[in-house]
Amino acid sequence: MNKSLVLGFSPCPNDCFMFDAMIHGRIDTEGLSFDLCMDDVETLNRRAFAGEADITKLSYHAFAYCTDQYDLLDAGSALGRNCGPLLISKRDISPDEIRSGKLQIAIPGKYTTANFLLGLAFPEAANKTELVFSAIEDAVLNGKADAGLIIHENRFTYAARGLKKIIDLGEFWESATGLPIPLGGIAVRRSLPGETREKINRVLRKSVEFAFANRSASLPFVKTHAQEMSEEVMYKHIDLYVNNFSVSLR
């Protein structure tokens, strides 16, 4: 029997949607089996630096720090347009105020693509506090941070909680480069045999294709990990981050 591969991805709806079929036997996994490890993306980034997973979701920014250990798969990426991180606050804040470096900004992790984009747009904004992404809205609302860098489903919830968008860093990236926003990808350990890495990519691509063709099949798994998220927000989240690039980067 083949040894199970340690597989890491986040509990967010887009990851659960993409991986559901391959971890629940809805497709032919070509003999592969998986030991699942779910965590927030920054924890996954740091586990990748430690080489703890055979296959893992990680930020594109983080991938640049571990290319000696991991290869990027063609399938499974969160890459697209109009899907970037947002800098939000309780009050109107000017770009000059951000550049002052005096604002306390809550970020979802040093190695997230979100923090990378914030650094590109405002290199002077160095007063940062790292929090789990789901705690950032509350930190801003409670006054523990002047502004927050939000990702994932918080794009759909911040306005209803009375928070304001300062800047869409995805729009900043697209206007500066004309390119899709490279949020996260799936990496595989380089030490695995080439045929195994190719098999993992095939299986993941089949899993994403199955998810697209059978949208409701993954719903129980998505709901299990979506906490208090409404079904409407779950699908908005999925539709924002899972697209043709998730099937193949080519």
Residue 62 near residue 220, CB atoms below 8 Å: no
How many Å is the Cα radius of gyration of the chain?
Answer: 18
Instruction: List phi, psi (to 5°) of 203.
Output: -65, -40
Exposure of 99 in the CB half-sphere (CA atoms within 13 A):
5
Cα separation, 152 vs 50, in Å, equals: 25
Cα separation, 244 vs 225, in Å, equals: 24
| CA neighbor of 183 nearest in space, from 191, 174, 192 | 174
Q: Has 152 been annotated as catalytic?
A: yes
Cα separation, 145 vs 98, in Å, equals: 13
For residue 5, give Cα distances in angstroms to 52, 55, 78, 115, 156: 11, 7, 22, 30, 34
Catalytic, out of 24, 61, 152, 225: 152
Active site residue ranges: 152
